Amino acid sequence: MKSLKHLIDIKSLSKTTLEALFDTADTLKQTPIKDTQLWHQDKSAMALFFENSTRTLTSFQLACQRLGVDVTALNIAHSSTQKGESIKDTVETLNAMQTDLFIVRHQQNHIQQQMADWQLSNHAGHETSIINAGDGTNQHPTQGLLDLYTIRQHKKDFKQIKVTIIGDIKHSRVANSLLDGLHTMGTTDIHLFGPNKFIPDTLKPFQASSMQAALTDSDVVVMLRIQKERLAAGVDVSVEDWHHNYGLNSEQLLLAKPDAIVMHPGPMNRGVEISDAVADGPQSVILEQVSNGVLMRQSLIHHLLIQTD
Ligand code: CP
């Protein structure tokens, strides 16, 4: 496996690297936490979340703890960014504390790449690994990893599956990372559906003509919420219309294969993009995605930290 210093996007990971990360997650699943807690006891991490999170922040914290990594989550609302300190000065200040890993979520696209570049131009000599925990509308690579890992647990061959993604694709960093990962794993039968204005031009070749066409014989159905916080000023979306046109209910799910899985990265808006019956139904793997998130993040952190040993 190629040496991994940062995880900025999922495109940079080869199929071999993705498979190595999945295999390590499988190993971690079988290994008692009391043993994995001895793996990286001399390491430290900082979680810098400039945007809200439930799943990603807590799963990164647990992943660190289960590997013995000492983790600190900076409370952005009470940090000196509120006194006007720039993100660059914040990062350089924290970098000077010689931590091993930054886990960063930010509303600005590409900020984690900028952080990596600042480190290279800084003469302090210490380079902290950076994990992108979500940047604006661009990438959410660890969500992509856990989504791929979940699909791998249920489907035999990435090359033989039909994957359907429905919702607000345009503002979804989750969709971008999953699509990049699926391409690397060899999935070509990909269908996107949502309001025309919410399918970016670059992804129009994958646009389905209808919800029915998108769902028919699908193996994997991924539902996405409306990214209200990222909509341009003046763009208004009716929740009722959305549910009617782009929401998944039990009847529509019958169009997919009987063993199709239903995924959602969370947070879910029940009754909007997904009905209660589907979210809590037998085909839903939404909580498995959450459990796998801890494992995949442990796997990634382990691979990054063994490079710095
Ligand atoms: N899927 C996801 O990123 O969820 P959070 O915003 O709760 O971290």
CA angle at 9 for the pair 6 and 15, rounded to the nearest 5°? 95
Find out whether the beta carbon of 98 lies less than 6 Å from any atom of ligand 1. Answer: no
252 Cβ below 6 A of ligand 1: no
Cβ(55) to ligand 1 under 6 A?
A: yes
Per-residue pLDDT of the chain (309 residues; tens, 9 = 90+): 667 899 999 999 999 999 999 999 999 999 999 999 999 999 999 999 999 999 999 999 999 999 999 999 999 988 999 999 999 999 889 988 989 999 999 999 999 999 999 887 765 667 899 999 999 999 999 999 999 999 999 999 999 999 999 999 999 999 999 999 999 999 999 999 999 999 999 999 999 999 999 999 999 999 999 887 777 766 778 888 899 999 999 999 999 999 999 999 999 999 999 999 999 999 999 999 999 999 999 999 999 999 766
Burial of 217 per CB tally in 10 Å (0-12, 13-18, 19+): exposed
Other beta carbons less than 10 A from residue 195's beta carbon:
16
Which ligand 1 atom is nearest residue 52's CA?
6
Q: Among the atoms of ligand 1, which is closest to the Cα of residue 54? A: 7
Ligand 1 touching residue 141 (CB < 6 A): no
Task: Kindly state if the Cβ of 227 falls inside 6 Å of ligand 1.
Answer: no
* 51 CB near ligand 1 (under 6 Å): no
Q: How far is the CA of 259 from the centre of ligand 1 (A)?
A: 26
pLDDT attached to residue 126: 72
69 Cα to the center of ligand 1, angstroms? 22
165 in Cβ contact with 222 (< 8 Å): yes
Q: What is the value of pTM for the model shown?
A: 0.96
**Predicted local distance difference test score (pLDDT) of residue 95:** 87
Task: Output the residue whose Cα is nearest ligand 1's atom 3.
Answer: 56
The confidence score (pLDDT) of residue 300 equals 98
The per-residue pLDDT for 230 is 77
Strand bridging mode 261-263 / 220-223:
parallel
**What is the whole-number distance in angstroms between the Cα of residue 19 and the centre of ligand 1?**
23
Tally of CA atoms within 13 A in the half-sphere of 177 that contains its CB:
27
Pocket test for ligand 1, best of 51, 56, 60 (most atoms within 8 A of CB): 56
pLDDT at 146: 98
- The whole-number pLDDT of residue 283 equals 98
Tokens 């559906």 belong to residue: 193
pLDDT of residue 228: 79
pLDDT value at residue 239: 85
Nearest protein Cα to ligand 1, atom 4: 55
